[in-house]
Amino acid sequence: MRSEHGMAVDLGCGPGPQTLALADMGFGTVVGGDTSQELLDELVHLAYSRSAVRTHHGDLLDVLPEIAGSGEVDVVVCMRDTLLHLPGMDAVDSFLSQVSASLAAGGTLVLTYRDLTRQLEGTDRFLPVRSDEDRIMLCALDYDSPETVTVNDLVYIRTSDGWHLHKSSYPKLRIAPDALVARIDAAGLTVTHHAPDSNGMWATVACAQQ
């Protein structure tokens, strides 16, 4: 993985845990892209002394065409389920074609995502996400179709006048990890790592031809 002076792109960066790590690895330019300006502002604040970090506000399908020419990017990361926010498998194929076109020879794509193909039943559909003394976050899953699941986020936030519940919901794609590998191959990339971690989050890494 080329780092010094190279370019890395973090799609769906949020407040930028991967953007900051890539900057600390020594990439000359690291672009964090996200649809949330609030999270990008947080990234800018966290990145204060890292001159390599840039932000790009917009959809993840717009970032690569807008910031990079063919073969100019050394690393693309899209982590922690961001890929599953795409609207369908055609969009996943467009995304993989864009990555394949923008990666330099030997460049790397890193994806991490959950396998949501197995349908959870009954109370197993309610999942703890994270909590601390002021915030409790959980989600409930509704299976709409073989292609998508609706994620209902329930966040209790403690304020001076008690606990308040915030609700939101959005669809996520149900991508079978091995089907994703076939699509990555079809986009002309070579998968070099494909396995779940101990929490069930899959990591799939692919390289552009040398």
Ligand X SMILES: C[S@@+](CC[C@H](N)C(=O)[O-])C[C@H]1O[C@@H](n2cnc3c(N)ncnc32)[C@H](O)[C@@H]1O
Pairing between β-strand 29-34 and β-strand 7-11 as defined by DSSP bridges: parallel
- What would you report as the CA-atom Rg of the chain, rounded to the nearest whole angstrom? 18
Shortest Cβ distance from residue 40 to ligand X (Å)? 9
Residues in contact with ligand X by the rule CB under 6 A: 12-14, 17-18, 33-36, 39, 59-60, 79-82, 85
Closer residue to ligand X, CB minimum distance, 36 or 150: 36
Shortest Cβ distance from residue 179 to ligand X (Å)? 20
C-beta of residue 67 within 8 angstroms of C-beta of residue 56: yes
Closer residue to ligand X, CB minimum distance, 17 or 26: 17
Closer residue to ligand X, CB minimum distance, 72 or 153: 153
State how far the Cα of 116 lies from the Cα of 146, in Å rounded to an integer: 10
Closer residue to ligand X, CB minimum distance, 7 or 172: 172
Shortest Cβ distance from residue 191 to ligand X (Å)? 21
Shortest Cβ distance from residue 13 to ligand X (Å)? 5
Closer residue to ligand X, CB minimum distance, 77 or 208: 77
Shortest Cβ distance from residue 95 to ligand X (Å)? 10
